[in-house]
Amino acid sequence: MKIFRCNVCGEVYIGEERPKSCPFCGAHESYFVLAKEWKLLHSDSLSDVSKENLKKALDLEINNTNFYKAVSGISKDVRVSSMFKGLSKVEREHASAICKHLKVQKPDSNVGSDKAVDSDHENIKEANRRERSAVKFYGEAMKQAPEKEMKDFFNALMQIESDHIILTD
């Protein structure tokens, strides 16, 4: 057994091989390293543009965390409810990872939870719209980031949210 660690969220994975994606934040395999080589993606001096983008990212992730959690609680379909439970956890990890970069406490907020409606179909459509807009946003943030570490970080998030588009398509 080996000990691996995620460069994006910092979580540990114990197993024979690197996971295809992080069970916590969804980062792709290439972001996993052996624990002894691990260093959290991090930039000591953040540029203003990356700081602003991280703040926007935090709002986005918290809003999506709350929306997905609310949908998971509403849906009567176990598959749909499970999908949103999983998505909510992943977006929560993203919010936590962003807070580490910004060196702030995770805000305690319910914003977004009121957007869940009674229809699974409408909620899935809304989730897909949110994931598409997240991919677009992270793509821009990646382009704008002067720091290599922040480019890698935003790229990781862009890849993960792309997986969520496929999931909700």
Question: Does residue 157 bind Zn ion (CB under 5 A)?
Answer: no
8 binds, among Zn ion, Fe ion, none (CB under 5 to 8 A by kind): Zn ion
6 vs 41, which CB is nearer to Zn ion?
Answer: 6
Q: What is the 3-state secondary structure (H, E, C) of the chain?
A: CEEEEECCCCCEEEECCCCCECCCCCCEHHHEEEHHHCCCCCCCCCCHHHHHHHHHHHHHHHHHHHHHHHHHHHCCCHHHHHHHHHHHHHHHHHHHHHHHHHCCCCCCCCCCHHHCCCCHHHHHHHHHHHHHHHHHHHHHHHHHCCCHHHHHHHHHHHHHHHHHHHHHC
120 binds, among Fe ion, Zn ion, none (CB under 5 to 8 A by kind): none
Question: Does residue 9 bind Zn ion (CB under 5 A)?
Answer: yes
- Number of residues located near Zn ion, criterion CB under 5 A: 7
State the residues that interact with Fe ion by CB under 5 A: 61, 91, 94, 131, 161, 164
Token pair recorded at residue 97: 């990872």
Minimum Å distance from CB 34 to Fe ion?
A: 26
Q: Which stretch binds Zn ion (CB under 5 A): 6-14, 61-69, 139-147, 160-168?
A: 6-14
Measured in residues, the chain has a length of: 169
Q: Which stretch binds Zn ion (CB under 5 A): 24-32, 48-56, 77-85, 105-113?
A: 24-32
144 vs 162, which CB is nearer to Zn ion?
Answer: 162
Minimum Å distance from CB 1 to Fe ion?
A: 29
Question: Does residue 97 bind Zn ion (CB under 5 A)?
Answer: no
